[in-house]
Structures are given as C-alpha cells and as structure tokens.
Amino acid sequence: EAQVTQNPRYLITVTGKKLTVTCSQNMNHEYMSWYRQDPGLGLRQIYYSMNVEVTDKGDVPEGYKVSRKEKRNFPLILESPSPNQTSLYFCASSFIWGAPATDTQYFGPGTRLTVL
Amino acid sequence: SQQGEEDPQALSIQEGENATMNCSYKTSINNLQWYRQNSGRGLVHLILIRSNEREKHSGRLRVTLDTSKKSSSLLITASRAADTASYFCAEKAGGTSYGKLTFGQGTILTVHP
C-alpha cells in the first residue's frame, strides 16, 4: 500500500531533550516536506527536500533540522525542543518530475508533539 | 512569505446545497492545490490547477483560478454530510522558490443532513 508513515504518532517530552520524528514513504517520491499545524495558523512549511541531499528552508525553519540521506526517509530533528514547538506535525511527499499530474502531495497521519 | 487567505473561515450548509470557498494568494504560482482534512488527520489532495489553467473539474468539485486577481475558488456541488471537513488551498511557488508550498488557513465546512 502506497503510504507516508510517521513515528511516533504522539510524543510528550520536556524542554531541551533532543528528539527525532521519522518520516518514510514507499512511493519513490523525490519531494518530501514537513509542516506544522497550529490552531488559527493553518499549516506552515518547516523544511522541504527536492531530492537526496537537497534540502531547503520553508517558512518556519527555526529550531528544526532535517536530513535526506535516503530517498524514502526524511527525519525531522528538534535538537532542543521548546514549548512553542508544541504542535501537530505532518510529513508529505510527492513526485516533482515526469507527468503533468504530479505535485500531488501525500500526507502522513501526523505526529502530535507536546513539549513541557 | 505570508500565508494566503481563505474565505469564509467557516461555512454551514444543508445537504444538497452547493458550497463555495475562496482563496487569495500572494506569490507568483506554479500551481494551486486544494486539500481536505478531517478533524486532525492528514490532508488529502483534492485537485490541482496550474497557473495556465482557468478551470478544472473533478467529480462534484470545480476549481477556478484567476491569476490576475491572485485568487481561486473551490465549488462543491450537491454537498453531502460526508463532505464535512476543513478545506485548504495551497500555493506552489514558481521560479527559484519551486518546492515551497504555502497553505491558507482553511475553511471549516459543515454540511447538515
């Protein structure tokens, strides 16, 4: 089944304790992206990657890191989480080359993060 | 970059009626996409319209794009209770910013049986 998976789905942690949220897709997509969703603010893009070893900042990259060592994986790293990073996080992926109909993003189920 | 705006923020209609949601965006786009989200779940892609297209249909969905006004609208015809969800537009930037996807704040649609 074609899908984007995220782990963990729920996480409660404390300020300053490094954490990683994993994202994996099995559709051979070039493009992967992370978003955070907060009430009243909609979804905001954190980082995106156009291909392996190619990453770029979205609109709210501060406090986050990413890496793209393999095509299928795009982990989101919070080196020193703070309470303002409490949010619902989504990973997404898509093709960007090829047929005109590509660009459709497939979203993971979300990770609800609480930083105390 | 600033997020686009969606209008209305909330829409409540009866089953069988049409629902229209509007989206304004700020940048020069490559394409504009519409997504649906059910209550805290992941987003599901509905339809994509490219900058050189003016209208597109998919089942009960109709999307229009007016690049001169930097606006788009999503029409859901003959709505059903199952259409109850949040709907988001997302602008895909063009040029050197290709890859950036900026979402609007969404419209919450409630369809009453």
pLDDT for A2 equals: 83
pLDDT exceeds cutoff 50 at B1: no
- Model confidence band, residue A95 (pLDDT cutoffs 50, 70, 90): confident
Could you tell me the end-to-end alpha-carbon distance of chain B, in angstroms, rounded to an integer? 39
Question: Per-residue pLDDT tens for A4-19?
Answer: 999 999 999 999 999 9
Question: Which amino acid is located at B68 in the chain?
Answer: S
Residue A45 or residue B41, greater confidence: A45
Residues B103 and A35 sit within 8 Å (Cβ to Cβ): yes
Mean pLDDT of chain A: 92
- HSE, side-chain direction, 13 A CA sphere, residue B88: 25
Considering only alpha carbons, which residue of chain A is nearest residue B34?
A104
Residues of B with CB under 8 A from a CB of A: 1, 3, 31, 33, 35, 40-45, 48, 50, 88, 90, 92, 99-106
Supply the pLDDT for residue A15. 97
A47 touches chain B (CB under 8 A): no
